Amino acid sequence: MAQSRSEERVVNNNNNGFESIDDGDEHNSQNGKKKLMKEEEVSVERVFQHQLVPSWRKQLTVRAFAVSLVLSILFSFIVMKLNLTTGIIPSLNVSAGLLGFFFIKIWTKFLQGSGMLKQPFTRQENTVIQTCVVASSGIAFSGGFGSYLFGMSKRVADQSSDTSDYKNPSLGWIIAFLFVVSFLGLFSVVPLRKIMVIDFKLTYPSGTATAHLINSFHTPQGAKLAKKQVKVLGKFFSLSFLWGFFQWFYTASDDCGFQAFPTLGLKAFENKFFFDFSAIYVGVGMICPYIINISVLLGGILSWGVMWPLIKNKEGDWYPKGLGESSLHGIQGYRVFIAIAMILGDGLYNFVKVLSHTFLGLYTQIRDKQKENVLPVAGQDSPSTPQLSYDDERRTQVFLKDQIPTWFAIGAYVAIAAISTATLPHIFHQLKWYYIIVIYLVAPTLAFCNAYGCGLTDWSLASTYGKLAIFTIGAWAGSSHGGVIAGLAACGVMMNIVSTASDLMQDFKTGYLTLASPRSMFVSQIIGTTMGCIISPSVFWIFYKAFPDLGTHKSEYPAPYAIVYRNMAILGVQGFKTLPQNCLLLCYIFFGSAILINLIKDCLGKRGRFIPLPMAMAIPFYLGSYFAIDMCVGSLILFVWEKVNKAKADAFGPAVASGLICGDGIWTLPASILALAGVKPPICMKFLSRATNAKVDTFLTVSG
């Protein structure tokens, strides 16, 4: 990010990467040389100017897609586990970049040693791998396996107030659904790539950061650092994987093992306050900003430490006694619907904020373009044309070289939309063909808004647009015509379109900064999406079959957003009549509080970074604070490390975090296989109070 800013400053001051030097003025000459030296120090493309840029076909290598396939399976397991546990998914770009670089380097080194290497490993090929892996693993999120899609199932429906309208998961229809909806977003914004990346010069922070990472790998100094980072990642991957394997031996039954260790006491454990020794969330905590981890912990303290104990005292007054922990007409209703209110309040505020930024930025860009096109008039200065730096000139030249025809993009969108309109009503009979046509007419505009807003703020509003579809289509269909399933399915269609659109633009920005062809980026995105449409449902199916309690409140994989999305659909169809007493009032309060907190945060400017995030605070309202404690432990490790040695923490912190996440995440594959094979852990490690332990001892003594 800092490098990007310094480049912009140089671009504004220099002419095509060179300073004009007046030979008659020694002072100006010295200044010019200093500026030229400075520009050369920050210029990326000058480092690579002697390297040939391969054609777009040569950027798409068999080895790149072989590595992408392996990494896609790895990251799909990781994203799926995160989806089905808490729904918090950090950026895994560093992990994908490092591992892609590592695998191809091993491949090329082996071939080079045997004299069979025909094509060297380039940063363009590295970018193709990155694009393919992110596109594939992204389907694990936008496919709704932890939200709208699983929310359709009977397992989740039985925990809601509407148990009649459901559709159980099946591998066949899930793959078919993803294939007919996941490609539309790619074609909807392809014609706008030049406008977004070159004309508007949108930042796309994640895409820019990924490009800087890839560029650094392919410099001599960066390659050395990358090798060290990969070693660190591999070490912590092994430790995390082995720790997951060790923990498995002690989980023979429910509430057994380290994940049920009452580290803060039994009373705190009952209220979901404990450290569960999860390496994956310690790693997530090291990647996520401090304020997110603190926000999640504050949300857990507010809900499970204060609110729920107080509301439980109202049992028999606010709601009937004896309903149990899982009934939405009891305490569970307050947990779920207040969390929904905070999520919707935060989503609405950010939707308006990003949309206003989008339209304001669009207006400014158009106004500036109009000024540039004004003819010079006597007495007025000619409009100045900003000069491009060497980097921007080189990148623009390559970016515009391989075009993707507009007629092809529009034709493909119309064709896929037609196939989708004909197919989706057969998968979801509640989703009528005219609902789908309306979505596809509106979707390109929303995809553009999301891609543009993401370029400005790095904030994708895919889930917010999905929630908008839930309420509009669900209310349109009505409860008598399957409005719940119709709303959830419409959410899936909308989320897939707008999510893939912003992802593609991020990838175009990465490709622009690494001199990767837009055509190779597009092909890689399509291949990655195709992989994702098969890999992600298969990974979900392994979880679904291996863990019979998947999606239930006390499961290791509670899928919290599945019940949240389903209840949003029910609210959209039935209104507020199903809520327990005073729940609606509390929902209004927390909905307004979420908007107010965001407003205060933005008004305070830089000081607002200390204000917690309502969206993050809402997650533990339903789940509890155990994962928040894990994440805060990760934050604490990184904080202490930065105080001791900031340079090493900055260089190796992401690698350590990625290793912890990848190791624990991939352990779920052998754990699932063992569960499917009927192999159970041999030991149950359980923690009891002294009084309960005395009763157990007495019972065993009498029985003996």
- Per-range mean pLDDT, top range of 125-129, 212-216, 338-342, 551-555: 125-129
Long-range contacts of 171-176 (CB under 8 A, 24+ apart): 171/537, 171/538, 171/541, 173/427, 174/143, 174/149, 174/537, 174/540, 175/533, 175/534, 175/537, 176/423, 176/427
Instruction: Give residue 224's domain range.
Output: 53-362+405-703
Mean per-residue pLDDT of the chain: 84
Task: State the average pLDDT over residues 189-208.
Answer: 84
Q: Is the CB of residue 527 less than 8 Å from the CB of residue 51?
A: no
**Collapsed DSSP state (helix, strand, coil) of residue 48:** coil
Residue 35 in any domain: the answer is no
- At 97, the amino acid letter reads G
pLDDT given at position 581: 86
Residue 367 in any domain: the answer is no
**Collapsed DSSP state (helix, strand, coil) of residue 684:** strand
Which sign does the torsion angle of CA 682, 686, 690, 696 carry? negative
Task: State the average pLDDT over residues 383-389.
Answer: 62
Number of domains in the chain: 1
pLDDT given at position 372: 62
Residue 115, pLDDT above cutoff 80: no
pLDDT given at position 373: 60
Residue 7, pLDDT above cutoff 50: no
Distances (CA, A) of 42 to 20, 46, 446, 508, 516: 18, 9, 37, 22, 20
Q: Residues 256-286: pLDDT tens digits?
A: 888 888 888 888 888 888 888 889 889 888 8
| Closest among 601, 144, 572, 578 to 346, alpha carbons compared | 601
Residue 59 in any domain: the answer is yes
Transcribe 527-566 into DSSP letters. HHHHHHHHHHHHHHHHHHHH-TTTTSTTSSS--HHHHHHH
Q: Residues 455-488: pLDDT tens digits?
A: 876 777 788 889 889 988 998 998 778 899 999 9
Q: Is the CB of residue 357 less than 8 Å from the CB of residue 203?
A: no
175-189, 205-219, 286-300: least confidently modelled range: 205-219
- Between 68 and 481, where is the model more confident? 68
Transcribe 167-205 into DSSP letters. ----HHHHHHHHHHHSSHHHHHHGGGHHIIIIIS----H
CA distance 546 to 548: 6
pLDDT given at position 369: 67
Q: Is the CB of residue 181 less than 8 Å from the CB of residue 537?
A: no
Residue 17, pLDDT above cutoff 70: no
Q: Residues 497-528: pLDDT tens digits?
A: 999 998 999 999 999 999 999 999 999 999 99
CB atoms within 10 A of CB 352: 12
CB atoms within 10 A of CB 397: 12
Residue 387 in any domain: the answer is no
How far, rounded to the nearest angstrom, does the alpha carbon of residue 46 sit from its chain's CA centroid? Answer: 33
pLDDT given at position 14: 34
Q: Residues 303-320: pLDDT tens digits?
A: 999 999 999 998 888 888
Q: What predicted TM-score, i.e. pTM, was given to this entire model?
A: 0.80
458 phi, psi to nearest 5 deg: 65, 20
Q: Is the CB of residue 630 less than 8 Å from the CB of residue 276?
A: yes
Q: Residues 392-447: pLDDT tens digits?
A: 888 999 998 888 888 999 999 999 999 999 999 999 999 999 999 999 999 988 88
pLDDT given at position 376: 52
Residue 375, pLDDT above cutoff 80: no
| Closest among 446, 447, 454 to 354, alpha carbons compared | 454
Residue 496, pLDDT above cutoff 90: yes
Residue 400 in any domain: the answer is no
CB atoms within 10 A of CB 66: 14
315 phi, psi to nearest 5 deg: -60, 135
Residue 21 in any domain: the answer is no
Long-range contacts of 640-646 (CB under 8 A, 24+ apart): none
- Between 23 and 301, where is the model more confident? 301
pLDDT given at position 89: 81
CA distance 353 to 346: 10
Q: Is the CB of residue 75 less than 8 Å from the CB of residue 536?
A: no
Residue 31 in any domain: the answer is no
Percent of the chain at pLDDT > 70 equals 90
CB atoms within 10 A of CB 63: 16
Residue 39 in any domain: the answer is no
Task: State the average pLDDT over residues 102-124.
Answer: 80
